[in-house]
Amino acid sequence: MDEMESGVVKKFMFINRKPPHGTVYALEVLEMVLISAAFDQDVHLAFIDDGVYQIKKGQAPAEIGCKNFSPTYRALDGYDIEKLYVEAEGLAERGLTEDDLLVPVEVLSRAELGKLMGEMDVILTA
């Protein structure tokens, strides 16, 4: 894949707005994120709105018959994906705190995240 050596580095942001398990988006976004790591891009992950539920501790979907992909979020730093942001308002509305999250993140206000989104080159939201 010669694009891997193209030298172009763009700011990618994957914005997660949906809860896990009810739809496949969280899982398939994670697949996009993992692939993007191979292209040496500047990858950002944001969890806003119901997306904050994706990184909630204690998920155990065996009884609904689904795969537990939540441990993968913890493996992201092994792929040098370390820019994870969670929206403070999203946590608060849902009665959650940083202690409820299964992976270290930077908590930003909606205003701060909006500003950061404005600096991106490519945004993929789901």
Partner 1 sequence: MKFGILVNEGPYNHQASDTAYQFTKAALENGHEIFRVFFYYDGVNNATSLGQPPSDDRNVTKNWQKLAEDHKVDLVVCVAAGLRRGIVDGNLAPGFRISGLGQLIEAGIQADRVVAFGD
Partner 2 sequence: MTMLHTVNKSPFERNNLDSCLGHAQPGDAILLIEDAVYAAMGGTNIAGKIADAAKTFRLHVLGPDLKARGCDPANLVAGVTVVDYGGFVELAAQNKAVNAWL
Question: By the criterion CB under 8 A, which residues form the site for partner 2?
Answer: 15, 17-23, 48-50, 53, 56-61, 63-64, 66, 70, 92-96, 110, 113-115, 117-118, 120-123, 125-126
Least distance to partner 2, CB of residue 7, Å? 20
What is the Rg, in whole angstroms, of the alpha carbon atoms belonging to the chain? 15
Q: Nearer to partner 2 by C-beta: 107 or 123?
A: 123
- Nearest in space to 23 (alpha carbons), one of 56, 71, 75, 69: 69
Least distance to partner 1, CB of residue 92, Å? 26
| Binders in 21-50 for partner 1, by CB under 8 A | 21-25, 28, 31-32, 35-36, 38-39, 41
Cβ neighbour number for residue 111 with a 10 Å cutoff:
10
- Nearest in space to 41 (alpha carbons), one of 116, 120, 99, 126: 120
